[in-house]
Amino acid sequence: MRRVSTIAVAGIATAALAMSVTACGSSSEEGSKNAGVGLAYDVGGRGDHSFNDSAAKGYDRALKDFKIKGKELTAKDGDTDADRYDKLSSLAEAGYNPVVGVGYAWTPSLAKAAKKYPDTDFGIVDSVVDAKNVASLVSAEHEGSYLAGVAAGLKTKSDKVGFIGGTDSALIKKFAGGFQQGLKDTNPKASLDVQWVQVGSPKGFGMPDRGKDIAEGMLSNKVDVIFSAAGGSGAGAIEATGKKKGTWSIGVDGDQYYDKGLAPYKNAILTSMVKNVDGSVYDFIKSVVKTKKSEHGVQSYDLKRGGVSLSYSGGFIDDIKPKIEAAKKKIIDGKIKVADTYK
């Protein structure tokens, strides 16, 4: 029998050790190095002029302030929960920490990923996942939408107002419910036309042409103020009002008056119900990479915390600001209880 040299044996042992380290499930070692921040957008991604862009703003600021790197992925139309899980898994496997899912559609896949990768900090925007390593970043959309309803009730001349939701989910019904209550409390004579871009599907957040069609139908029925909580589809509604004199859109998520992609129609944007998603995403990233005291559990961003607000850009609602601020104070003080669903 041929003798094996001592050097050869050492080489074999080293190779075996390396193989054994690689074979130890990546889920147990995903936190051993930090590649930066992983951000998973919902359908539409960066550039949707709405929700995703707001998250991107907080992400960009965090990367700059904390001098870290990041990777962005975007869900596609037709992605299954398994497809979304693969995206989150790829970020965790590559060592990104934290990993943030933007939008409630990530809920099932993020819950599964959080269980698989216990050493990775996950954040989810607009949903709740009950896990020790997950921060659920939720906003009081109904409170901000109530104020949008107050503005609509005071500014409508036809007493006909519209609401366009991306889909008929519980989340979007929070917007509709608060808006309806604010409208009716302010202007009992006003009627509200509620329509969904896509029933039962998040695809409704990325269909601007459909949003435009719905808005044009409302305008033809003398609706003169339209609030859209429909992601990228809302851009179509803003275009429709921008082309019809004497009608208004209410923006959502970010201050859409300053959205460069909507600049031709900005003078038709009455106000925007701003969700400070950028703030919640930034705070969460900071808690993981800077303070090392990761936020977990439900993190609620309401009117009192500055998580939602109504914009005054353009000056179109300056004349009714005292009434809006009075309603805001009553909500914060608990004198107005805002409905969190549409009925």
Q: What CATH number is given to the structural domain containing 206?
A: 3.40.50.2300
Better-predicted residue by pLDDT, 24 or 329: 329
Q: What is the pLDDT of residue 31?
A: 44
SS3 47: coil
- Which residues are paired to 196 by β-bridges? 165
328 by DSSP, 3-state: which?
helix
Q: Are residues 172 and 241 in the same domain?
A: yes
- On whether both 152 and 265 belong to a single domain, the answer is yes
Band of residue 87 on the pLDDT scale cut at 50, 70, 90:
very high
Categorize the per-residue pLDDT at 343 as very low, low, confident or very high, splitting at 50, 70 and 90: confident
- pLDDT of res. 202: 86
* Mean pLDDT for the stretch of residues 105-128: 97
In-domain check, residue 236: yes
SS3 46: coil
Cα atoms found within 13 Å of the Cα of residue 4, Cβ hemisphere only: 6
- Residue 2: pLDDT band (50, 70, 90) is very low
* Residue 12 covered by a domain: no
Residue 77: is its pLDDT beyond 90? no
Q: Has residue 232 been placed in a domain?
A: yes
Mean pLDDT rounded to a whole number for the chain: 91
Whether 37 and 73 map to the same domain: the answer is yes
Same-domain check for residues 119 and 212? no
**Is 340 inside a domain boundary?**
no
Q: Which residue has the tokens 């936020």?
A: 295
**Tell me, what's the pLDDT at 292?**
73
What pLDDT was estimated at residue 185?
98
Q: Is the pLDDT of residue 136 over 70?
A: yes
Q: How many domains does the chain have?
A: 2
Quick: pLDDT tens for 169-189: 999 999 999 999 999 999 999
Structural domain includes residue 19: no
For residues 288 and 264, membership in a common domain is answered with: no
Q: Are residues 112 and 166 in the same domain?
A: no
DSSP 198: S
pLDDT of residue 29: 44
Are residues 187 and 68 located together in one domain of the fold?
no
Tell me if 113 is assigned to some domain: yes
Same domain, 322 and 269: yes
Instruction: Find how far residue 259's CA is from the centre of its chain.
Output: 16
**118 and 214 co-located in one domain:** no
The confidence score (pLDDT) of residue 33 equals 64
**Which tokens belong to 11?**
């080489």
pLDDT value for 16 = 39
259 & 227 share domain: yes
Q: Average pLDDT in the 226-240 region? A: 96
Say if 337 falls within a structural domain.
no
φ/ψ (deg, to 5) at 44 = 110, -40
Asked if residue 254 lies in contact with residue 57, where contact means CB atoms within 8 angstroms, the answer is yes
**SS3 at position 203:** helix
pLDDT per position as a tens digit, 9-39: 334 333 333 333 333 333 434 444 688 999 9
Please indicate, yes or no, if residue 70 is contained in any of the structural domains: yes
Q: Given pLDDT bands bounded at 50, 70 and 90, which one contains residue 229?
A: very high
Give the domain extent around 42: 31-139+279-301
Pick the closest to residue 188 from 163, 165, 164, 161 (CA basis): 161
Q: What is the pLDDT of residue 49?
A: 77
Q: Are residues 125 and 209 in the same domain?
A: no
For the chain, how big is the Rg over CA atoms in Å? 23
What sign has the CA pseudo-torsion 84, 89, 95, 97?
A: positive
**316 and 226 part of one domain:** yes
Q: Which residues contact 342 (CB under 8 A, 6 or more apart)?
A: 173, 174, 176, 177, 180, 194
